[in-house]
Structure 1
Amino acid sequence: MQSKAYAGFMQKLGWEVEIISTRADLVYLYSKKVPLLGSVAKIPRSTVSLPMDLVDQAAKEKKALFVKIEPSATLDKMDALPEGFRKDSPILHTKTILVDLAPIPEKIEKSFKGDVRTCIRKALKENLVVQESNDLGQFYALFEKTAKERGFYHPYKKQMKNLRDAFFSQVKLFLAFQKPLEKHPDPLAGCFVITHNQVAYYKYAASTPAGRKKGASYLCLWKAMVACKKTGCHTFDLEGIADERYPQTRKYRNFTHFKQSWGGKEITYLGSFAKPYSTFYKLLSKIELI
């Protein structure tokens, strides 16, 4: 993401931040030193028309092995890709679904597939309620348990806290509970959402087995959409689905099905690309060892 808040988050992770100023925009380049070799650099979610003279200069000053870019542009902008970049393995998601929040909530809900609407109604019949929360510890405990149970990667709590602290008021936590809360204080589902430039990003989600049976995840996401719409967001980014161009994303098939059920428009980004700068890295690139 190209923003001051995200730059602050990257600094907390140990990355140096270089701001490349152009007449039209600011470009954030992140670099990290590699002992004995120099450094690596990346420019996530920038426009495809980068000021390459300034990028090249920054890369050389930092003795970068390479600069990786993952543009916010879609496939139809492939011709605009700067020279010298070759396809590389992705770090960020390369395909996503955007849900339009502009219509009234009733119209948005009608765009969902039948199973989503059924699960939302089921959750309400089960007497579930969704609350906005500031309790990152409670959400992370649920998230960590879900990740271990379902076998997917989860960041350390400190990393999630750094992300929350960097975006601060732009972060929204939603937790789904069984009523009455006095008897059921533990959440059944939750989601971590970042809002930026009127777009809401569905960063993390979690649920218990009991919550999944009651449709808690569906109600939680729906209430998150409604809340973000009320704060002025016009788009809800479901943050990544499987991409047939990258076999390693096949493991995302289960939650891809979940996300596709919410309607929305599938967006395919250009992908991930790297430009080598060191002689050694250029050689490896030519013989396709990296």
Structure 2
Amino acid sequence: MENLDKIKTFISESEQGTIFTTPEWLEAVAPGKWDYITNESAGSIKACMPIILNEKLGLTICNMPPFTQSLGIMYPAYEGKYAEVLTRKMNALSEIIPVIPKNSYFRQRLHPSITNWLPFYWQEYNQLTRYTYIIKDLANQDKIWKSFRSNIRQEIRKASKTIKIFQEDDFESLSFCIDSTFARQRNKNFDFSTLKNIFDSCKKLKNGKIFLAKNENGICGAIYLVWDKKSAYYIAGGSPIDVRTTGAMPLLLWEAIKFSSKVTKHFNFEGSMIKPIERFFRAFGGEQVPYFEITKINSKIISFAKNFKI
């Protein structure tokens, strides 16, 4: 791909650039099906957007890949008056939307720093607001601890008496814990193949880690964490059905938060729109942060299927 090094530099300097927008991540979650579209002027990138295209049943789908919180538009570090910066961003986005490859269905989630989707609206795209929770200051662990809900602190104290946390490259144990959780929820659609691709890629780049919780009876929980220079992200986790009340998950997340303070600035729970999961993440005291999901249906077949929930 031409100018890939230039794009990688742009990603590292953009506020919206994350581990999710890097070539390594995109290749892990969508092998051979990704690209970047850019808006350039005088040799400088004014805007950049990762694009993933899949062909299915004669339809071209531009969708969000698994385990990926956000893609969307990325801007350079503009400086100047607010109105001037906003105008430059709107112009850049307005110019990049028309060059999005022709597709039957488009869905991307934007970085939480993007608060303006008007150029998408003017081009008849739709928007859904989603939420995540982010601990934005990892420097003061005492402050973070005090921001936890009291029951979370109690569970962590109790669990720490019988459970030890280990950092191991044990994908099999992680898979076992996740599989146990999804089996409990009667959900068999977890994408272990893509998660393994991510694990292998991040292991090579040294920006991913598995945390395992163990007691005298064996493994009682596991989570997977990835990070870039801006934030750490909770990707997946679970616990065996017979030990789900041990407090392993709160303890695992607390250890992951403490670890993250050594490698990055923020901790992103990656939120959830599922009520019990949202309630659990909320208890860790992170700031509730909205972000936009942008969609557009360009196919009568897909529109019909969605309207009638086929």
SS in 1 for 2:165: strand
1:256 alignment partner AA: E
Structure 2 partner of 1:150: 185
1:1-290 map, 5 Å: 1-12=20-31, 16-22=33-39, 23-37=45-59, 39-42=60-63, 44-47=70-73, 51-60=93-102, 64-73=103-112, 76-79=115-118, 81=120, 83-87=122-126, 94-125=130-161, 127-152=162-187, 154-168=189-203, 169-179=206-216, 184=217, 186-231=218-263, 233-242=264-273, 252-274=274-296, 276=298, 280=300, 284=303
**TM-score between both structures, scaled by the size of structure 2:** 0.74
Asked if the contact 1:189–1:216 (Cα under 8 Å) also holds between the matched residues in 2, the reply is: yes
Whole-Å separation in 2 of the counterparts to 1:145 and 1:209 = 6
Q: Classify 1:275/1:71 alpha carbon distance in 2 versus 1 (closer, same or farther; 3 Å).
A: farther
With 41-50 and 212-221 compared, the bigger mean Cα shift is at 41-50
1:47 alignment partner AA: I
Tell me how large the CA RMSD over aligned residues is. 2.9
Q: Classify 1:289/1:178 alpha carbon distance in 2 versus 1 (closer, same or farther; 3 Å).
A: closer
SS in 1 for 2:292: coil
Whole-Å separation in 2 of the counterparts to 1:58 and 1:256 = 33
Asked if the contact 2:180–2:241 (Cα under 8 Å) also holds between the matched residues in 1, the reply is: no
SS in 2 for 1:263: coil
Asked if the contact 1:74–1:270 (Cα under 8 Å) also holds between the matched residues in 2, the reply is: no
Q: Classify 1:196/1:254 alpha carbon distance in 2 versus 1 (closer, same or farther; 3 Å).
A: same
> Larger relative CO (CA 8 A, sep 6+): 1 or 2?
1
Query: Unpaired runs of 5+ in structure 2?
Result: 1-19, 40-44, 65-69, 75-89
Whole-Å separation in 2 of the counterparts to 1:261 and 1:153 = 28
Deviations 1:7-52 (A, max 9, x none): 112333xx62121133135321111123434x12247532385645
With 218-227 and 163-172 compared, the bigger mean Cα shift is at 163-172
How far does residue 109 in structure 1 lie from its aligned partner after superposition? 0.6
1:240 alignment partner AA: G
Deviations 1:189-224 (A, max 9, x none): 110111123311111111134533221111111001
How far does residue 82 in structure 1 lie from its aligned partner after superposition? 5.1
Whole-Å separation in 2 of the counterparts to 1:153 and 1:268 = 29
Whole-Å separation in 2 of the counterparts to 1:100 and 1:206 = 24
SS in 1 for 2:244: helix
Deviations 1:230-273 (A, max 9, x none): 12x2111111222xxxxxxxxx2112111111001001112332
Deviations 1:131-170 (A, max 9, x none): 1110101110121122101334552432211121233321
Whole-Å separation in 2 of the counterparts to 1:204 and 1:118 = 23
Whole-Å separation in 1 of the counterparts to 2:25 and 2:262 = 24
1:161 alignment partner AA: K
Aligned length: 261
**TM-score between both structures, scaled by the size of structure 1:** 0.78
Deviations 1:117-143 (A, max 9, x none): 100100122x21101110101110121
In percent, how many aligned pairs have the same letter? 17
